[in-house]
């Protein structure tokens, strides 16, 4: 399995060129959650026993193993989480979990106690980039696809969640309206979620590498 880690750039295609030049961006009136140097503030959930994320050349990237990275410093609410990410190919499957009420010990904690904002361009409008996975329908599908940097802004305003991808509104959910019933066993349990919580990044599909250039949070201005 060490060979996979040694040669992971071969999977990334045009992503590698952008890794070399990429530097973390400054959060406007906010706070950087990823320092561009290491995983300070983050805890890795590694069910396969191998680190699912690593930091190289200013980027946090998946390594080819399934797992998650939890920001353990604080719960986040009444804020916009700004994420800049890039997927190495069209098979990418990842997500940003929000509103997790307790520090997750497994991915199931994030799935069933929090909400996953999906990153995956292949599935239907309830399971695609920018939706609350299986619970909301995409208002648009503005993802730029693999090999290109995308921005995702997730706003937590009380129970309301607003998601914009590349500046285009994908989700605006009030947090209380009915959602479709759970159909598949891997979909999240339904039920209310807290106004604030821990966040978690997912490395789900080993056939694609996801890289994060920036993860920052800006408090809402009331």
All structural domains of the chain:
2-219 (2.60.120.560)
Let me know if 104 is exposed, middle or buried by CB neighbors in 10 A (0-12, 13-18, 19+).
buried
Q: What is the pLDDT of residues 17-37, one digit of tens each?
A: 343 333 333 344 689 999 999
Q: What is the pLDDT of residues 63-85, one digit of tens each?
A: 999 999 999 999 999 999 999 99
Instruction: State both tokens at 27.
Output: 């959060």
Q: What is the pLDDT of residues 118-144, one digit of tens each?
A: 999 999 999 999 999 999 999 999 999
Distance, CA of 57 to CA of 176 (rounded, Å): 42
State the DSSP code for 188.
P
């Amino acid at each position: 399995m060490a060979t996979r880690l040694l040669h992971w750039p071969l999977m990334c295609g045009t992503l590698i060129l952008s890794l070399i030049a990429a530097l973390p961006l400054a959060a406007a009136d906010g706070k950087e959650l990823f320092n561009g140097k290491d995983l300070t503030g983050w805890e890795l959930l590694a069910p396969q026993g191998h680190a699912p994320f690593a930091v190289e050349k200013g980027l946090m990237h998946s390594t080819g193993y399934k797992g998650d990275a939890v920001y353990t410093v604080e719960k986040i609410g009444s804020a916009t989480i700004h994420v800049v990410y890039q997927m190495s190919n069209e098979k990418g499957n990842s997500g940003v979990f929000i509103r997790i009420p307790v520090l997750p010990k497994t991915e199931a904690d994030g799935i069933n106690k929090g909400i996953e904002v999906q990153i995956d361009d292949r599935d239907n409008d309830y399971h695609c980039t920018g939706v609350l996975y299986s619970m909301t329908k995409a208002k648009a599908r503005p993802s730029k696809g693999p090999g290109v940097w995308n921005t995702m802004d997730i706003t937590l305003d009380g129970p309301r969640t607003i998601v914009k991808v590349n500046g285009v509104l994908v989700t605006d959910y009030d947090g209380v309206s009915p959602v479709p019933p759970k159909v598949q066993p891997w979909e999240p349990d339904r039920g209310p979620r807290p106004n604030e919580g821990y966040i978690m990044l997912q490395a789900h599909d080993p056939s694609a590498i996801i890289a994060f250039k920036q993860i920052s949070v800006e408090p809402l201005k009331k």
